[in-house]
Chain A
Amino acid sequence: MNETIIRVEHLTIGYGGKTVLKDLNFEVQHGEVFAILGGSGSGKSTLLKHMIGLYPPMSGHIWLDDIDIASAQGSVRLSALRRIGVAYQSGALFGSMTLAQNVRLALEEYTDLPDEAMELIARMKLDLVGLKDFADSLPAEVSGGMQKRAAIARAMALDPAILFLDEPSAGLDPVTSAGLDQLIERLKRGLGVTFVVVTHELPSIFAIADRVIMLDPRTRGIVAQGRPQELRDHSDNPVVRQFFNRQAGALEAA
């Protein structure tokens, strides 16, 4: 399965005239877990928000299959958006709805499934992230980590081809975080879901990522891309070495 599902070409992005990242080129293959790495402020989340078409880029293209999400409008754009699911950093659950209702929302809007079917699917998605018993709770009634997992369940509601996860394991305990990695692995193998994950959790990166790109705020571009193990063992780029070594040091100290 070596077909390109996302292709980013000469992408330059920024806010209000200030360039954050310039001239990015990379591809995401079908069925892989693709991680975007980088320190705080390197533009990881900004890049993700452009890849899902939330903000227009300053220049360049983002192809989701054959649709340029950067310039697509109307129903074309909608058909691209229905093929992706996004779990935001803060969860961004709708506070007035229970977790199950949050997951059901997309099903209600996009499919003709019977009510019972939507309810069962919502509960099954929540079961996948270990939250079945909290299906009828409001987001404010569960912990921050649970909200994040519920957000992932919501992103999976329509079984999207591509799941974008913005720091999915940040703020989770190690056990839950490892469970999340297993879930990503299962979905990748079982359904051929492609993942684009923004993260800086080294254990996760080595556990799940097939390929990574690393962003550097100083050059405002990609400093390295490839398999995480190769980057760790063979990169002579100081930024990359520092990222992997300092994190490794922090882990030993913990």
Chain B
Amino acid sequence: MLSPASTAALEAGPAEGSSAVLRVSGRLDAYSVGPLWKAALTALDSRASVPLIIDASAVDYCDGAGIALLVNLMRQPRAAGSEVSVRDLRSPFDRLLQQFDPQRFIPRPPPPALREPLPERVGEVGAEFLREGYQRIAFVGESAAAIVETLANPTHIRRNDALVIAQRMGADAIPIVLLIGFLMGVILAFQTAVAVRQFGADLFVADVVALGVLRELGPLMTAIILAGRSGSAFAAELGTMKVNEEIDALITMGLSPVRFLVVPRLIAGFLLCPMLTAIADLLGLLGGAAVMQTFGVPIVTYFQQVQSMVSQADLFGGIAKSFVFGVLVAGVGCLQGLNTGQGPSAVGQSTTRAVVGSIILIVAADSVFAFIYNVLGI
């Protein structure tokens, strides 16, 4: 029943005794009320000291917005003896008006916001920090216990769940790992070539590409891809389950969410990250080879140079890191998912936290590995 073309009017009527009269007419709805709103209040204020009658006999139609206009006039604070009243609003619209007591809609000032003193806020942040730390430690312990228990009773692994998760995390990620791996090799080769070719040492590009990809970039880029693809997915999936009370349902059925949801994901992360890293390593080397080809270095020469430079320790050192990265990505994703608060925005927050948290942990873990490998002489 709304039409943007609707019109309504407000005008002063002849005074009746000591009362002033305002006449409203036309169609009062969400479109026509807007222009009248201010004018009506002004008219009201200019007749502040006399009783005011609003004559609504010429109103053709009046919906919720029109009723709001009338209620707004009737709720304005007035001196005693100069009240506002509405007259002759036709049926059935009068019944709509009777539903509301204007006195109930007198706006009250909001209570002054209490500002907590600084020490209290600092304390709260500190307590929150400790609580989160506690949650993380508890999560690590709980997951470790669940994994040990699962390994002791391998039949407890939810195999189908684990396989589906592994497919989504691993097989479905292969195209993007192929692409990023190859381009990583290409970029590294080109950047190295800029410096190395000045000395005519084109072949040494192979050394840099091979060592760089196998030791650092392969595992690191793969883990970051996984954090973006799967860590976020885990957090969103578990977070949505939390919001929908599915996690509560598991707990009340006596099933541990950690064993049920986290362990299959940790296993998938542990096994798949190294596999994807191996693919990224291979494609990185091929990318380097492709660039060398454009410099006129044959592929055979390139790979001979790579073989002479790279040891097994370089390859497996990189792969070893990726086991840890895989667990970190899956673990942080699940932790943030299970710690999701209420509502849809909470799912978004925990997804963000999962990705940011796992990238920070991956880089931190990588520097620990760099230190250890340095000490071990790998």
Name A's B-contacting residues (CB within 8 A).
Answer: 82-83, 95-96, 107, 110-114, 116-117, 120-121, 123-125, 127-128, 132, 140, 156, 158-161, 186, 189-192
Complex partner residue of B104 from A127, A140, A160, CB under 8 angstroms: A127
Q: Which residues of A contact B99 (CB under 8 A)?
A: 127-128, 186
In the complex with contacts A96-B343, A120-B72, A121-B64, A83-B2 CB distance below 8 A? yes
20 other A-B residue contacts (CB within 8 Å) besides A117-B69, A124-B68, A186-B95: A107-B30, A111-B30, A111-B65, A113-B30, A116-B72, A117-B65, A117-B72, A121-B30, A121-B64, A124-B100, A124-B105, A125-B64, A128-B99, A156-B64, A158-B30, A159-B29, A159-B64, A160-B2, A189-B95, A190-B93
A to B CB contacts below 8 Å, 27 in the list: A95-B344, A96-B343, A96-B344, A107-B30, A113-B30, A113-B33, A114-B37, A116-B72, A117-B33, A120-B72, A124-B67, A124-B100, A127-B99, A127-B100, A128-B99, A140-B343, A158-B30, A159-B29, A159-B30, A159-B63, A159-B64, A161-B2, A189-B95, A190-B93, A190-B95, A191-B96, A192-B1
Distance, CA A128 to CA B72, complexed state (A): 16
Does B31 count as interface, using CB distance less than 8 angstroms?
A: yes
Q: Which residues of A contact B126 (CB under 8 A)?
A: none
In the complex with contacts A83-B2, A95-B345, A159-B29, A132-B96 CB distance below 8 A? no
Q: Which residues of A contact B93 (CB under 8 A)?
A: 190
Distance, CA A186 to CA B99, complexed state (A): 10
Does B115 count as interface, using CB distance less than 8 angstroms?
A: no
Q: Which residues of B contact A95 (CB under 8 A)?
A: 342-345
In the complex with contacts A83-B2, A116-B72, A123-B105 CB distance below 8 A? yes
Check A120–B33 contact: CB distance below 8 A. Answer: no
Q: Which residues of B contact A186 (CB under 8 A)?
A: 95-96, 99
Check B104–A132 contact: CB distance below 8 A. Answer: yes
Check A158–B2 contact: CB distance below 8 A. Answer: yes
Minimum Cβ distance to chain B for residue A132 (Å)? 7
Complex partner residue of B68 from A120, A158, A192, CB under 8 angstroms: A120
- Of the listed residues A120, A140, A160, A161, the one surrounded by the most CB atoms of chain B closer than 10 A to its CB is A120
Check B37–A113 contact: CB distance below 8 A. Answer: yes
Which secondary structure characterizes the binding site on chain B?
helix
Minimum Cβ distance to chain B for residue A92 (Å)? 11
Give B1-51 interface residues, CB cut-off 8 Å to A: 1-2, 29-31, 33-35, 37-38
Does B92 count as interface, using CB distance less than 8 angstroms?
A: yes
- Of the listed residues B1, B64, B69, B92, the one surrounded by the most CB atoms of chain A closer than 10 A to its CB is B64
Check B1–A159 contact: CB distance below 8 A. Answer: yes
Does B329 count as interface, using CB distance less than 8 angstroms?
A: no
Check B96–A117 contact: CB distance below 8 A. Answer: no
Name B's A-contacting residues (CB within 8 A).
Answer: 1-2, 29-31, 33-35, 37-38, 63-65, 67-69, 71-72, 92-93, 95-96, 99-100, 104-105, 342-345
Distance, CA A215 to CA B69, complexed state (A): 43
Check B31–A124 contact: CB distance below 8 A. Answer: no
In the complex with contacts A158-B2, A159-B30, A113-B72 CB distance below 8 A? no
Q: Which residues of B contact A117 (CB under 8 A)?
A: 33-34, 37, 65, 68-69, 72
Check B38–A114 contact: CB distance below 8 A. Answer: yes
Minimum Cβ distance to chain B for residue A74 (Å)? 17
Complex partner residue of B71 from A110, A113, A120, A158, CB under 8 angstroms: A120
Distance, CA A132 to CA B1, complexed state (A): 25
Distance, CA A151 to CA B63, complexed state (A): 19
Distance, CA A127 to CA B101, complexed state (A): 10
Minimum Cβ distance to chain A for residue B65 (Å)? 6
Check A161–B105 contact: CB distance below 8 A. Answer: no
- Of the listed residues A82, A95, A107, A121, the one surrounded by the most CB atoms of chain B closer than 10 A to its CB is A121
Complex partner residue of A121 from B1, B65, B96, B345, CB under 8 angstroms: B65
Q: Which residues of A contact B69 (CB under 8 A)?
A: 117
Distance, CA A75 to CA B69, complexed state (A): 29
CB-based nearest A residue for B93? A190
9 shortest interchain CB distances as A-B pairs:
A95-B343, A159-B63, A121-B68, A112-B34, A113-B34, A190-B92, A159-B64, A111-B30, A190-B96
In the complex with contacts A120-B72, A140-B342, A159-B37 CB distance below 8 A? no
Minimum Cβ distance to chain B for residue A93 (Å)? 10
Minimum Cβ distance to chain A for residue B44 (Å)? 13
Check A120–B105 contact: CB distance below 8 A. Answer: yes
Q: Which residues of A contact B37 (CB under 8 A)?
A: 113-114, 116-117
Distance, CA A83 to CA B345, complexed state (A): 30
Check B68–A114 contact: CB distance below 8 A. Answer: no
